[in-house]
């Protein structure tokens, strides 16, 4: 990928702002009794209201605004009308296209209805905390002069350090003119290896991880990937612009 010029970066920022607001709205809707389908509709509305388009519509055969997975679901889940229940671990993945520029982001949360969490919920909370930390560890490495492997190794160290696994069959990616561009950004790899990073490159850094084995199986809907051992799946993803000394995060929903 070539670096984006300042005009292109401006459009990417606008696309990212739409994605951030949509993700924030989606996460606010992940509550007891709500459904993935409802969350998807909110995201669609939010993206259109801000003048954006659904990036996932550029994927042949896919017609939703989001991918939503629960518990042992890991990625590419089709939104359904199943109601969220107490203790569900829900991942929302969405992408926006704005004036032809794509941004991609995902976040995982726990559905909690009780005041005191049980043991499984506490373990899920820890699982999510580590996944988020791995994402920020990876983003810190997205600086001019580093290599893709620096991002990958940072993510892998945090996930495996906590006893979890990084999925091997799916990876982060360049993003911008299309949803998926070069280079691939695995969540596993060796420091100092891989494609060199340059200011202005736009990357979707993804932490795709499980609480057990990294092996995945494809569900009967032919979209959703589940963990083969039925352990939990988690997903944290942000689109960033590589910078000198610091990456600029375009999809930080916590700041909008």
Structure tokens at 74: 């890991």
The DSSP symbol for 178 reads: S
Q: What angle do CA 174, 179, 182 make, to 5 degrees?
A: 30
- The site for ligand MF3 (CB under 6 A) is made up of 56, 59, 62, 67, 76, 93, 95, 104, 206, 237
Judged by beta carbon distances under 5 to 8 A according to partner kind, the member of Co ion, ligand MF3, none in contact with residue 137 is none
Judged by beta carbon distances under 5 to 8 A according to partner kind, the member of ligand MF3, Co ion, none in contact with residue 67 is ligand MF3
Nearer to Co ion, 153 or 204 (CB): 204
Nearer to Co ion, 96 or 111 (CB): 96
Shortest separation between residue 117's beta carbon and ligand MF3, angstroms: 29
Q: Is 119 left (phi over 0), alpha (psi -120 to 50) or beta?
A: alpha
- The site for Co ion (CB under 5 A) is made up of 104, 204
Coil/strand/helix, residue 112: coil
**Cα gap 238→123, rounded to integer Å:** 24
Shortest separation between residue 120's beta carbon and ligand MF3, angstroms: 27
Tokens 């944290």 locate to 236
Q: Find the radius of gyration of the CA atoms of the chain.
A: 17
Nearer to ligand MF3, 69 or 121 (CB): 69
Nearer to ligand MF3, 68 or 121 (CB): 68
Q: Which residue has its beta carbon closest to ligand MF3?
A: 59
H helix runs in 92-140, sequence order: 119-140
Nearer to ligand MF3, 27 or 59 (CB): 59
Q: By the 8 A CB rule, do 138 and 153 touch?
A: no
Shortest separation between residue 45's beta carbon and ligand MF3, angstroms: 18
């Amino acid at each position: 990928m070539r670096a984006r010029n300042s005009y292109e970066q401006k459009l990417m920022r606008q696309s990212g702002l739409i994605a951030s607001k949509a993700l924030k709205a989606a996460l606010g809707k992940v509550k007891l009794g709500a459904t993935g389908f409802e969350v998807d509709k909110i995201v669609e509305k939010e993206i259109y209201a801000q003048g954006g388009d659904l990036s996932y519509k550029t994927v042949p055969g896919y017609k939703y605004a989001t991918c939503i997975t629960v518990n042992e679901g890991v990625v590419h889940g089709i939104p359904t009308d199943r109601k969220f229940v107490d203790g569900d671990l829900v991942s929302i993945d969405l992408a926006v296209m704005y004036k032809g520029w794509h941004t991609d982001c995902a976040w995982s949360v726990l559905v909690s209805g009780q005041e005191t969490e049980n043991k499984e919920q506490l373990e899920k909370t820890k699982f999510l905390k580590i996944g988020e930390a791995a994402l920020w560890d990876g983003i810190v490495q997205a600086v001019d002069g580093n290599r893709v492997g620096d991002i990958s190794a940072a993510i892998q160290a945090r996930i495996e350090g906590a006893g979890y696994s990084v999925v091997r069959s799916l990876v982060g990616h360049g993003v911008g003119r299309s949803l998926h561009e070069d280079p691939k950004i695995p969540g596993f790899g060796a420091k100092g290896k891989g494609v060199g990073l340059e200011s202005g490159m736009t990357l979707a850094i993804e932490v795709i991880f499980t609480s057990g084995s990294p092996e995945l199986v494809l569900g009967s809907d032919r979209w959703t990937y589940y963990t083969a051992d039925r352990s939990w799946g988690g997903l944290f993803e942000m689109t960033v612009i590589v910078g000198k000394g610091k990456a600029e995060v375009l999809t930080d929903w916590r700041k909008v």
